[in-house]
Structure 1
Amino acid sequence: MSTETRLPTEEDILRPINTFTKTYVALYGISTLALVAFLVAWAYQLQQGLIVTGLGDWGSGGGSTWGLYIGAFIWWVGIAHGGIILSAAVRLLGMDRYMPVARLAEMLTIAGLSAAGFYILVHMGRPDRMVTSVIGHYHITVNNSPLVWDVTVITAYFVMTATYLGLTLRYDVSRLRDDLPDRFEPIYKLLTIGYTEEEDEVVERMVWWLAAAVIIMAPLLLHGGVIPWLFALLPAMPAWTGAIQGPQFLSIALTSAISGVILIAAAFRRAYDWDHIFTDDIFRGLLLWLGFFCLLFLWFQLQQLINGSFLGPLDSARATEHKLGHPIYILSMLMVLGTLTFIFLQGIRPALFSRARAILAGVVVLTATFLEKLLFVVEGFMDPHFDIYAATPGAYFPSAIEWLSLAGTIGMVVLLFLSLSKMVPVVELHAVEHMRGEHEHGGEPAETEVKA
């Protein structure tokens, strides 16, 4: 038996661009079908009004005015926010081990923010209100509208992430241009406009500062600040209010984003024979980080439950009791706890690791965080301080249109990845160069093939 070290090459990261498979076409078709199905359902909703959903008038109507739309909005924002934090940490903290997945995390942020922004349009009932109520009166509404704050921070993060991604793509496109397809020439010209090799050092510093800004702003904007504040600062809603919401939202964002990166990296590894790029070592590391943030997530949940149930106000105790008794909440917590237990056992016995189990862990955590956010939104309406509508208890269950919205936005995110993978490398050229350089200077090899 002999061993041969397999190192990543430029040809490897160009393979998605230059390869079409039946699996790719089938996945593109399924994702398109999911998105189109939701667009048809949304058109029906626009025609008939939000009454066709499971949403209702809070109060005498006995329903919930927010439901799956807002729960999924928070979920997608969390995935997006966690993605850019992961990428920023790789660059800022020198976590070279995860360089191959940094760009996937950036693309996940773009995709997640696009899905979240779409949910704002869907939940407004009439998309034209974005122009007449938000953009047209921005200088007034920005001071007192939670919706406008959502739009503002999502737009800010989208621009920041797009700039971040665009700057790193300039290096790759300029050096790989001869091997890129001519049909996307206008896009490549736009990405590399004014490019010279002398700018590489400047761009590297710019990307570092952008990463620093992302890390600094994380607790203040989006999933660490603005969005949880929209709930936490409502004293009339005991199921929402509390200083723990910011850290709790942030922990959910990071668990969801790491889970998403695991799934996407596993899909590309399987599709393009990237065992030597997305190595088992990367998946093990991502699982350890996932376990750490799952632990934080459960700890913050415990803090909230104890604070709400131990000698607190009666309405807070009632809201906590209802949450603890809800099967969806119990299920979501058990899913996260089960994942954490598996990761802990894997740390003790590395033989328990497998890519299939890593993928399953990602799916379980993403499902759990979605269910928790959906219940969080709805339960807030069911247990208010001023319970003047006790005679008509609230009830809510998502309609088929709302479930289609989730399938449609997942399809939209998949389509974005499938499309981007045909235009630009989804793994940075810097990552390939770093892995080769590390091996040449005596570092650990990326992957070893065993040949007879």
Structure 2
Amino acid sequence: MSSNTPSVDDIVRPMQSTSMGYYIVFAVASVLALIWFGLWSIQLQRGLAVTNLADWGSAGGVTWGLYIGAFIWWVGIAHGGIILSAAVRLFGMKRYLPVARLAELLTIGALSMAGFYIMIHLGRPDRMAWSVIQSYPVTVHQSPLVWDVTVITMYMVMTLTYLGLTIRYDLARIRDDLPDILEPVYKIATLGYTETEDEIIERIVWWLALGVIVMAPLLLHGGVIPWLFALLPSMPGWQGAVQGPQFLTIALTSAIAGVIILTLVLRRAYDWYHILTDDVVRGLTLWLGLFGLLFLWLQLQQVITGVYAAPLDQRAVAGAKVTAPAYQFAIGVVLIAMAYIFAQAVKPDVFSPVRSLAASLLILSGTLVEKVLFVFEGLEYPTFSMYYNSPGHYFPSPIEMASLVGTIALCTLFFLVVLKVIPVIELHAIEELRDEGHGSMEGDD
């Protein structure tokens, strides 16, 4: 078989061999995660006073900051990831089938980090059990925040079901090439499997994908989460029907950027240039540009309606937003990335994997900064202030900033472990590429 022809050997390679680079990345991510756990233990001992968050009152400051901004960012990546995977299956986008499972795994990793941020921001993790789980039958009818936890949990269950169903096909056919030490796990995962179920599972997965596509704008990043902020009418920065579409575009933009980064890293690490081809990366980059353009357009709508002939409260928060260096940075890096994507669309020779990687990193950093700014500036400029003194200004503390590094490290560890347990590229994708006689694309990282 030609080395350019995708094969089972390609997708099981990460489970069969471990490079020095893998150990180095694992060690670095582990150290960063341990440092964060150490800093979090300080917060658990001393309380949220170690952050720059403040209580309501004359002390000034804001009650929500980077923790909630990063929570929204991770949730957006997760929701966008499952939407991408669902679209691939629902609309038969076979071109992107090699990255479908990567998007699903990104959803699981990102949702886990989002849930972790809920515990971090509660101050005391035991409050999750007493305030949410124990009181759930009552609070689900009364608390929009519990609705948020509910839809996130629902999406986690849907994604795990999605992954569990599709992976049975792979495990049943490549069992002999999988690590023997994990044989009990694979037996449980394929319990009762027969080839007659493949068609049934395909239909179930299609309906799950349809459910994801339908519910995304209604319940998740286009629905419940922006609505939670809009429920506080004294915060003009959180108002407006544009917030739902804005949140959804940020989710899709961030998720596609994340998938591009995973794609380029994995194809470089495991020589998957003939599977995760330049054509796939180029196409994902163009989709990144489309949703990035929508993100910028909706930002423009908010700025225009906020600074021109707007009510005084909206004008104050819009003016503070556009003059904030953090906002200028966020929009600036997205514009730089969009300039490259536009140039690539006009002149394909401009495309390069390295530039797509840089554009993805810029967009991820821009959307993160914009979400954090959205959270705390919405609190800094209320319509009515109960106190005469200045509300103060918020800047993330070292412990808060370390949480971001720590969660990225934990998500990296999640992917490193998954690489050793299941194939991160579907066998269906390999079969499709092989049937089409699809060879490797030119290009080098």
Same fold (TM over 0.5): yes
What is the DSSP-based 3-state SS (H/G/I as helix, E as strand, rest coil) of the residue aligned with 1:193?
Answer: coil
Which sits farther off after the overlay, 364-373 or 344-353? 344-353
Determine the C-alpha separation between the residues in 1 that align with 2:26 and 2:143: 38
Q: What amino acid is the match of 1:68? A: L
**Structure 1 residue 141 and structure 2 residue 139: aligned?**
yes
Total equivalences in the alignment: 442
Identity in percent: 59
Determine the C-alpha separation between the residues in 2 that align with 1:277 and 1:357: 20
Determine the C-alpha separation between the residues in 1 that align with 2:94 and 2:287: 15
- Conserved? CA contact 1:6–1:448, under 8 Å: no
Instruction: Kindly state the Cα deviation for residue 273 of structure 1 after the two structures are TM-superposed.
Output: 0.4
Aligned to 2:325: 327
What is the DSSP-based 3-state SS (H/G/I as helix, E as strand, rest coil) of the residue aligned with 1:425?
Answer: coil
Aligned to 1:108: 106
Determine the C-alpha separation between the residues in 1 that align with 2:356 and 2:321: 29
- Equivalent positions of 1:205-244 (< 5 A) are 205-244=203-242
- Equivalent positions of 1:30-429 (< 5 A) are 30-429=28-427
Determine the C-alpha separation between the residues in 2 that align with 1:213 and 1:165: 15
Instruction: Kindly state the Cα deviation for residue 309 of structure 1 after the two structures are TM-superposed.
Output: 2.0
Determine the C-alpha separation between the residues in 1 that align with 2:300 and 2:185: 49
Distance 1:207 1:388, change over 3 A: same
Q: What amino acid is the match of 1:384? A: P
Q: What amino acid is the match of 1:366? A: L
**Cα offsets for 1:145-187 (capped at 9, x unmatched):** 2331221111100000000001010000000001101111221
Determine the C-alpha separation between the residues in 1 that align with 2:134 and 2:360: 41
Q: What amino acid is the match of 1:412? A: L
Determine the C-alpha separation between the residues in 1 that align with 2:71 and 2:262: 20
Instruction: Kindly state the Cα deviation for residue 62 of structure 1 after the two structures are TM-superposed.
Output: 0.8
**Cα offsets for 1:108-165 (capped at 9, x unmatched):** 0000000000000010011111111111111111122233122111110000000000
- Conserved? CA contact 2:234–2:384, under 8 Å: yes
Which sits farther off after the overlay, 391-400 or 254-263? 391-400
- Conserved? CA contact 1:63–1:396, under 8 Å: yes
Q: Normalising by the residue count of structure 1, what TM-score does the alignment of the two structures yield?
A: 0.96
For structure 2, the 5+ residue unaligned runs are: none
Aligned-pair Cα RMSD in Å: 1.3
Aligned to 1:447: 440
Distance 1:233 1:448, change over 3 A: closer
- Conserved? CA contact 1:82–1:256, under 8 Å: yes
- Conserved? CA contact 2:250–2:367, under 8 Å: yes
Which sits farther off after the overlay, 175-184 or 301-310? 301-310
What is the DSSP-based 3-state SS (H/G/I as helix, E as strand, rest coil) of the residue aligned with 2:196?
Answer: helix
Q: Normalising by the residue count of structure 2, what TM-score does the alignment of the two structures yield?
A: 0.97
Determine the C-alpha separation between the residues in 2 that align with 1:251 and 1:448: 30
- Conserved? CA contact 1:81–1:109, under 8 Å: yes
- Conserved? CA contact 1:57–1:64, under 8 Å: yes
Determine the C-alpha separation between the residues in 2 that align with 1:138 and 1:247: 29
Q: What amino acid is the match of 1:197? A: E
**Cα offsets for 1:43-68 (capped at 9, x unmatched):** 11111010001111234111111011
What is the DSSP-based 3-state SS (H/G/I as helix, E as strand, rest coil) of the residue aligned with 1:263?
Answer: helix
For structure 1, the 5+ residue unaligned runs are: 440-444
Instruction: Kindly state the Cα deviation for residue 357 of structure 1 after the two structures are TM-superposed.
Output: 0.4
Aligned to 1:19: 17
Q: What amino acid is the match of 1:12? A: D
Instruction: Kindly state the Cα deviation for residue 274 of structure 1 after the two structures are TM-superposed.
Output: 0.5
Determine the C-alpha separation between the residues in 2 that align with 1:386 and 1:278: 53
Instruction: Kindly state the Cα deviation for residue 449 of structure 1 after the two structures are TM-superposed.
Output: 7.5
Determine the C-alpha separation between the residues in 2 that align with 1:185 and 1:72: 37
Q: What amino acid is the match of 2:247? A: F
Distance 1:55 1:448, change over 3 A: closer
Q: What amino acid is the match of 2:218? A: L
- Conserved? CA contact 1:9–1:432, under 8 Å: yes
Show structure 1 runs of 4+ deviating over 4 A: none
What is the DSSP-based 3-state SS (H/G/I as helix, E as strand, rest coil) of the residue aligned with 2:310?
Answer: coil
- Conserved? CA contact 1:310–1:317, under 8 Å: yes
Q: What amino acid is the match of 1:355? A: P
Instruction: Kindly state the Cα deviation for residue 345 of structure 1 after the two structures are TM-superposed.
Output: 0.8
